[in-house]
Structure 1
Amino acid sequence: MIYPESQICEFIEKALLSEVYTTPKPGLVDKHDTGAHRDMDVSTFEKSTAAISPFLAKMYGAGVEFSENPENLCDEKLFAVIRKIGVDAEKAMFAATNGVNTHKGIIFTLGIICASLGFTLKRHKNLQNDFFDDSDELIDDFLDEVFLNAKKMTFETLEKDFALMASREPKTHGEKLFAKYGEKGIRGEAQKGFPIIYKVALPFYKKLLKVNPDENNRNIIALLHIVKNLSDTNVLSRSSPETLRWLQSECDSILGEKTVFAPEDIERVCKLNEECVQKNISPGGAADILAVTVFLAAVSGL
């Protein structure tokens, strides 16, 4: 039942590349253009993906190897272990991209999910290999546990992080947004067990899988659904709350109730991409959530 790290690494690579190859996307790097970015392209993401995937798989392995009682997830030990691995992952990323930050957010988000996945799978090691073939309800229950364990793993440490941020002058984009707007970003999502994934992105993606067989088309729709529901700090750091609301409204307008995009819908996404480039905004946080969603769908056998 427990996936080997090598297989998890394959799942990670496929998910990260599935996101970057999705075309077109608003303001993001894809196979057509570099969006609102001037220092990276698809090949940059390919190099970065190859560099960081083994480290993310190692975080999964750390979760499998964590032998403490489940309640001891709250004592910060596992999160401390994967944070150290995350530092090495960032170094590998910057080495592969010549200093370009392609995947710092995904290292944080997917790293936590991978560690929690490994820990949760270890607790269910006696289940049959066809566990994920049994029922949607069983899959949902298992993933609920993964998200709950992610919350337990991170809450106390991140609470201390926020207290420290509140006591000093902000340095990073995230710290400045926290000081200015009280925006906790992806760290706040982690503290809550990533509701943007388990309440928004993953249920919608599961719906799309049943009606839309085209991976690229499906990913575009899923991305727009995530953008319209996420307070993306990548957009906020480059613009303002008003611009974020504009982007969310545009995505909502294009999306409507659609689960399959026609050519005219794709054209509207292309037009939105041009406007995002002009406004210099890029919903990188939403792209990360899409990649994690694709990863979880694959791991769950969806």
Structure 2
Amino acid sequence: MINSITQNALRALLYEVTTEPKPGLVDPASSGPHPDMNIYTFIDSSLSLTQYLTDAVELGQNFKETDLRQMFYTLRQKGLAAEKVMFTATQSVNTHKGAIFALGIFTCAESYCQTRQTELFLTIQKMCRGLVKHDLGRNSLPQTAGEKEYAKYGYGGARAEAEQGYPIVEKIALPFLKNSTGTVQTRLLDTLMKIATVTVDSNLIKRAGNAQVIDWLHQEAAEYLNLGGYATPAGQQKLTELAQDCLEHNYSLGGCADLLIVTIFVGLERNYL
């Protein structure tokens, strides 16, 4: 029997990938700039994470210590194991590495909060305190894409967002989703683009090879919303043009997608969707 938190986490993964058309991302109509992936890869990947998400819920329910960083580092070990399961399900394609990190944190924290009546985003801050310094503040030669970006630009990426308690989700994306109207498709596309107006997407920086591309994304996403979003023909045309730009330049918005996933998850937990 899958508990409701795990179920909503899985729904969030599937809601994200089935929403279309998404610039720089995989959806049912297009693989975008990810020719090694398709909608079925993401479905297989999502379902492969069921046990990990269940374990994250159980960890949050049963954690008894006072230092929530220990809960995070226990979760992280489970996440590393989940990555191997994911890669097996996808024939070594990285579909959800970022989501394993972010959604694992949210799932575990939500379970902890429901058990102890604490606040979600504050709990996440306590879980991830000191994470950037722990992971990226070393003097060793940068190895991962995140480490290289931190060394070159000073951006902490997904780790910094987690350490701050996901302010983009709490203060921008979630209120936007709650107040949005229209079909689920329209609401999720508009929320994705709202996220894209403020996020420093490390995936995009990696693909572009420069940080200036972030200003471009912020402007494009803001223009889409100013045109009325997906509910308007002008907004739909703008999204089509943005998707084409991402395809031509091999741009991926994977960081924005991860934030959309956790926004959907909290939205489902709070009955916003």
Answer whether TM exceeds 0.5 for this pair.
yes
TM-score (norm 1): 0.86
Amino acid at match of 2:16: E
Distance change >3 Å, CA 257–CA 266, structure 1 → 2: closer
User: Is 2:79 the counterpart of 1:109?
Assistant: no
| CA apart distance, 1:259 | 6.0
Matches for 1:279-290 after TM superposition, within 5 Å: 279-290=249-260
Matching residue within 24, 27, 33 for 1:27: 24
Aligned to 2:158: 186
Contact 1:117 1:146 in 2 (8 A): yes
Aligned to 1:162: 136
Contact 2:131 2:159 in 1 (8 A): no
Matches for 1:1-302 after TM superposition, within 5 Å: 6-69=3-66, 72-73=67-68, 76-124=69-117, 145-164=119-138, 167-208=139-180, 211-212=181-182, 214-239=183-208, 240-256=210-226, 258=228, 261-302=231-272
Distance change >3 Å, CA 260–CA 24, structure 1 → 2: closer
| CA apart distance, 1:66 | 0.5
Quick one: distance in 2 between partners of 1:106 and 1:161?
18
| CA apart distance, 1:31 | 1.3
| CA apart distance, 1:5 | 5.0
Q: Secondary structure at the match of 1:241?
A: coil
Contact 2:131 2:163 in 1 (8 A): no
Amino acid at match of 1:224: M
CA displacement 1:37-80 (0-9 Å, x = unmatched): 111011100000000132123112101111124xx22xx22112
CA displacement 1:102-138 (0-9 Å, x = unmatched): 00001111111111111111113xxxxxxxxxxxxxx
Distance change >3 Å, CA 178–CA 157, structure 1 → 2: closer
Quick one: distance in 1 between partners of 2:152 and 2:59?
36
Contact 2:229 2:235 in 1 (8 A): no
CA displacement 1:163-213 (0-9 Å, x = unmatched): 22xx011111111100100010010011111101101110111111xx32x
Contact 2:207 2:250 in 1 (8 A): yes
| CA apart distance, 1:266 | 1.4
Amino acid at match of 2:63: F
Question: Percent identity between the aligned chains?
Answer: 37
Q: Secondary structure at the match of 1:226?
A: helix
Q: Secondary structure at the match of 2:141?
A: coil
| CA apart distance, 1:157 | 4.3
| CA apart distance, 1:237 | 0.7
Contact 1:221 1:261 in 2 (8 A): no
Structure 1 unaligned runs (5+)?
A: 125-141
Quick one: distance in 1 between partners of 2:42 and 2:114?
29
Provide the aligned length of Structure 1 versus Structure 2: 271
Contact 2:149 2:202 in 1 (8 A): yes
Quick one: distance in 1 between partners of 2:148 and 2:137?
14
Structure possessing the higher radius of gyration over alpha carbons: 1
Quick one: distance in 2 between partners of 1:5 and 1:46?
17
Structure 2 unaligned runs (5+)?
A: none
